């Protein structure tokens, strides 16, 4: 019987390396593929490693493939990554929203362009090192949270369709991170103790503000309180995100901390308020995606997550034409436009969308007129 061919997206890290090892041991015809996504001109670098996939990472992936006895290929997706991830990232910050580049990379690069490339090469599946699980029933495929709650990555996979799920494998999702490192060590893989990546992959310095500023000229505007009173001047909305307290460039004379509670791109204003002003229950989301069909007008009871490390909280989702109204049963802190909101039923991820709009209730706000530019 001919083996099923599977292409594993290999970053040079321990998770994708063990994913390839597990699939090889399960009898698949495994091919490792590393993606070249980002290369900055040396004149624009800041002394850090200036590649998304560094030379060291590519070499680690190649050596792992050699050790487990599978072929390794290196493919260039820089143009696609620039258009669908980097340009999106810059545009979102420039309009006062907070993007999620890993979601964009998964949606467009790994599960669109890479999947198409894999099918062109007559592969049956692609696999990644994401901590998530897949099951199949008479109703189709179901995407479940990874066994390791601390590493679960189902949140960044909400855009996957049934057609895409039918071609995907997530072998490490059945294990904890500790299990994965132990398997790598037992197999003698050189990446067994390699640290996890922490920063945005195309900004090795971690300073997204400088990255955006170098590409889009900031425009000064006003800080205002929730009632619209001007508090001072800000250097540009691209430097702020909802919930931010540090590096505001403005101090409160009454000693009370101030937070960014809303960013208004139409008026180029940054709204500052007290911590309680960040607590909201109602908002809208667009760019919806569900793993199964939903009807316009339907009301769905879910648990919803508004950021990667947040807990899922009970909410009601009302499906509209092209968007959804979401209401949490209890107020949530810093619901941030541009970030995903993802819906769960028990451990199954059923869909999600991008947070679009929320209200700021000025009646709850403390007086915020006593401020000074620092």
Catalytic residues: 105, 201
Mention every residue, 6+ apart, whose C-beta is less than 8 A from residue 186: none
Tokens (6 digits) for 351: 């869909």
374 vs 354: CA distance, rounded Å: 34
Return the CA Rg of the chain. Answer: 22
> Residue 14 in 3-state DSSP?
helix
> Residue 59 in 3-state DSSP?
helix
CB 123 within 8 A of CB 151: no
CB 98 within 8 A of CB 337: yes
250, β-bridge pairs:
373
Q: In sequence order, what DSSP letters do the residues of 89-148 get, joined into one string?
A: HHHHHHTT----HHHHIIIIIIIIIHHHHHHHTT-SEEE---SEEEEEETTEEEEEE-S-
> Exposure string (b/e) for 208-228, b if CB count within 10 Å is 16 or more?
bbebbbeeeebeebbbbbbee
233 vs 115: CA distance, rounded Å: 47
108 vs 373: CA distance, rounded Å: 42
CB 6 within 8 A of CB 28: yes
Q: Between the CA atoms of 286, 357, 338 and 314, what dihedral angle is there, to the nearest 10 degrees?
A: -80
CB 22 within 8 A of CB 32: no
Tokens (6 digits) for 195: 């640290």
CB 84 within 8 A of CB 96: no
86 vs 83: CA distance, rounded Å: 6
């Amino acid at each position: 019987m001919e083996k099923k061919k599977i292409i594993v997206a290999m970053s040079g890290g321990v998770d994708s390396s063990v994913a390839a090892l597990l699939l090889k041991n399960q009898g698949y015809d495994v091919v490792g593929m590393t993606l070249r996504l980002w290369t900055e001109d040396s004149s624009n670098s800041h002394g850090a490693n200036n590649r998304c996939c560094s030379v060291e990472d590519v070499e680690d992936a190649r050596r792992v493939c050699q050790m487990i006895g599978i072929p390794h290929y290196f493919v260039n997706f820089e143009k696609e990554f620039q258009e669908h991830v980097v340009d999106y990232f810059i545009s979102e910050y420039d309009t006062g929203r907070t993007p999620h580049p890993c979601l964009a990379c998964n949606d467009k690069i790994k599960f669109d362009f890479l999947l198409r490339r894999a099918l062109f090469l007559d592969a049956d599946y692609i696999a990644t090192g994401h901590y998530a699980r897949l099951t199949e029933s008479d109703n189709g495929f179901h995407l479940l949270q990874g066994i390791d709650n601390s590493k679960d990555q189902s949140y960044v996979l909400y855009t996957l369709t049934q057609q895409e799920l039918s071609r995907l494998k997530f072998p490490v999702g059945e294990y904890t991170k500790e299990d994965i490192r132990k398997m790598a060590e037992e197999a003698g893989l050189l990446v067994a103790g390699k640290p996890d990546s922490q920063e945005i992959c195309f900004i090795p310095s971690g300073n997204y503000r400088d990255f955006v500023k170098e590409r889009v000229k900031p425009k000064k505007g006003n800080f205002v309180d929730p009632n619209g009173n001007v508090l001072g001047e800000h250097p540009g909305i691209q430097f702020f995100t909802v919930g931010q307290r540090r590096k505001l460039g403005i101090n409160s004379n009454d000693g009370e901390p101030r937070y960014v509670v809303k960013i208004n791109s139409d008026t180029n204003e940054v709204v500052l308020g007290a911590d309680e002003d960040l607590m909201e229950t109602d908002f809208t989301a667009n760019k919806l995606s569900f793993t199964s069909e939903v009807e316009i007008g339907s009301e769905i009871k879910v648990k919803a997550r508004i950021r990667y490390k947040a807990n899922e909280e009970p909410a009601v989702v009302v499906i509209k034409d092209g968007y959804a109204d979401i209401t949490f049963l209890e107020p949530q802190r810093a619901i941030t436009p541009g970030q995903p909101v993802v819906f769960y039923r028990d451990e199954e991820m059923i869909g999600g969308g991008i947070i679009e709009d929320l209200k700021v209730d000025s009646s709850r706000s403390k007086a915020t007129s006593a401020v000074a530019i620092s």
